Structure 1
């Protein structure tokens, strides 16, 4: 596996752009693993889809990335303002498209703030959480290239 330490990119992207690298490897059947900065994450498929259901699916991790990013931004907002993070929760639901290509059709994220926040703080928390990196990326999708190694 290659490391995920940022490296300067010398293509059409600005020079200060960072490249993060990691590699996905086959484990068994529909199980794949990725090591990111020393953390191993696995994916699998549900039994009804031919997998062994030993880990979340890649699509579940996609939705979880959004949810955890929203939670992180909300938590940082609370911390920055000296507010307690206890009780902060983020619930996420997603639906798959019923047509092709296979894709997520909708994602709904609900933030439950800690108790006792004023309406002004609740509105500010939502505004900050709605601008997390993953949410921004979904609104301005990155260029994606998929190649085969020779």
Structure 2
């Protein structure tokens, strides 16, 4: 990818804690577990975030293996901790299994997977802006 590009996705509410994410014609449901008041019809947004990181690492790993003409078959397992004050992911640990990777390539392989776009974003946070649109009435929310 030689230049940056802009993409758009849309999230719509589907009742309760259920949302649908529309991405390039694909649909992904997001929901909260039942013990958090949801219906558990899909992963949480946080689970998708961690899954996105793990999938991005896996994709970069497979591309590396393909370029080096090594056997495919990477598996990434993610474990994560949720922190409070503020609510956030406080720790993510990724185990990357690459059975066909020769020991001599471990360092270059690790360098490649550490630079996947999602991981890079965690270290160079994007500018995030919020534009609140209403149907003619200004919504006012007072936060303590």
TM-score, normalised to structure 2, is 0.87
Q: Residues 70-149 of structure 1: matches in 2 within 5 Å?
A: 70-86=57-73, 88-97=74-83, 99-115=84-100, 117-149=101-133
Q: Residues 15-34 of structure 1: matches in 2 within 5 Å?
A: 17-34=4-21
Note the aligned Cα RMSD (angstroms). 1.2
What residue ranges of structure 1 are gaps of 5+ in the alignment?
1-15
Aligned pair count reads 132
Task: Point out 4+ residue stretches in structure 1 off by more than 3 angstroms.
Answer: none
SS at structure 2 position matched to 1:19 = coil
What residue ranges of structure 2 are gaps of 5+ in the alignment?
135-144
Q: Kindly provide the CA deviation profile for residues 24-63 of structure 1, in whole angstroms up to 9, marking residues without a partner as x.
A: 1011211000110111011000000000101000000000
TM-score, normalised to structure 1, is 0.83
Structure-2 separation of matches of 1:35 and 1:78: 31
